[in-house]
């Protein structure tokens, strides 16, 4: 049997996390350390791998009930290799170190089970009740695989060069950065997207670190969800403005 498809064979590497192509990740399991992957992201596996789709710590269940933010994860354990992907999004493997990483959970594909995460709030400078955006603060030592719609841009933040980013385009940033959430408006219509520009809430990053932005303000369609209150309608939380175009919301 012959076909150009045979050019797309498994990449040979000893690395635990290895990109097979920009949209497909291979994770090697040796039986000593598990990997936590987004539910439904397994596309293939080899070896003796077990999948636990009910994985969640009591603290994470409490945080989800309080904030609505969290990760729907499955624990992958055993010996072999597991292949992960999600709607052909671009995948990027990052090392989490002492600086920590803050990320919207919608962009997390997989992470080492040794890492710790908790839900945190990004408060609006206007102090409006319910306007905060919740994200995940990931800490510890290990790797996390993030997803973006298209090839992203990594922006450096320094004390003399701060960065502003659309709240629907920002993917992740250094946890050491100071963050302010604001709406570019000078009237009481703070919930309206900015004039006729289509722009709404933005995040300002100050300090020393990095901010990762994707070239899209909408996530790919998956499990379309509507509702969720005022904050959900305006680009905040898991069911924000990025998902209010029919079918264009990505849900955990």
pLDDT digits (tens, 9 = 90+) for 159-200: 999 999 988 899 999 999 998 877 655 444 444 444 444 456
Q: Please name the helix (run of DSSP H) or strand (run of DSSP E) that holds residue 47, with its range, or none.
A: strand 42-52
Length in residues, the chain: 252
Domains and CATH numbers, the chain: 14-184+201-213 (3.60.160.10)
What's the pTM?
A: 0.75
Tokens of 38: 């987004």
Nearest of 190, 194, 193, 199 to residue 127 by alpha carbon: 190
Q: Please name the helix (run of DSSP H) or strand (run of DSSP E) that holds residue 45, with its range, or none.
A: strand 42-52
Residue 31, sorted as left (phi over 0), alpha (psi -120 to 50) or beta, turns out to be left
Tokens of 129: 């009740």
Over its length of 252 residues, how does the chain's per-residue pLDDT go in tens digits? 778 887 887 877 888 999 999 999 999 998 788 999 999 999 999 999 999 877 666 556 665 666 555 667 899 999 999 999 999 999 999 999 888 999 988 899 999 988 988 877 765 444 443 444 668 889 999 999 999 999 999 999 999 999 999 888 999 999 999 988 776 554 444 444 444 444 567 889 999 999 999 998 765 554 444 334 434 433 444 444 343 333 332 333
Nearest of 93, 53, 47 to residue 73 by alpha carbon: 53
d(CA 163, CA 224): 31
Residue pair 2/63 in contact by the 8 Å Cβ criterion: no
The number of angstroms, rounded, from the C-alpha of 51 to the middle of its chain's C-alpha atoms is 21
d(CA 180, CA 100): 18
Tokens 């809430």 found at: 201
Residue pair 96/140 in contact by the 8 Å Cβ criterion: yes
Burial class, 104, CB count within 10 angstroms (exposed 0-12 / middle 13-18 / buried 19+): buried
């Amino acid at each position: 049997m012959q076909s150009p498809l045979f050019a797309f064979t498994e990449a040979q590497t000893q690395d635990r996390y290895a990109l097979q192509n920009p949209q497909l990740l291979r994770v090697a399991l040796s039986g000593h350390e598990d990997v936590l992957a987004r539910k439904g992201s397994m596309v293939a596996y080899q070896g003796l791998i077990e999948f636990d789709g009910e994985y969640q710590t009591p603290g994470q269940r409490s945080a989800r009930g309080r904030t609505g933010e969290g990760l729907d994860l499955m624990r992958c354990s055993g010996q072999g290799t597991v292949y992960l992907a999600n709607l052909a999004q671009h995948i990027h493997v990052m090392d989490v170190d002492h600086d920590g990483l803050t990320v919207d959970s919608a962009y997390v594909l997989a992470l080492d089970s040794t890492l710790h995460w908790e839900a945190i709030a990004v408060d609006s400078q206007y102090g409006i009740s319910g306007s905060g955006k919740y994200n995940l603060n990931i800490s510890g030592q290990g790797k996390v695989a993030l997803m973006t719609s298209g090839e992203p841009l990594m922006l450096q933040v320094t004390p003399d060069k701060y960065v502003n980013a659309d709240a629907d385009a920002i993917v992740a940033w250094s946890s050491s950065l100071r963050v302010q959430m604001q709406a570019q408006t000078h009237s009481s219509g703070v919930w309206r997207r900015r004039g006729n520009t289509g722009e709404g809430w933005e995040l300002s990053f100050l300090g020393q670190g990095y901010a990762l932005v994707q070239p899209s303000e909408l996530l790919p369609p998956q499990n379309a969800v509507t509702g969720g209150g005022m904050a959900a309608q305006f680009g905040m939380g898991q069911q924000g403005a990025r998902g209010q175009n029919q079918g264009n919301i990505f849900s955990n």
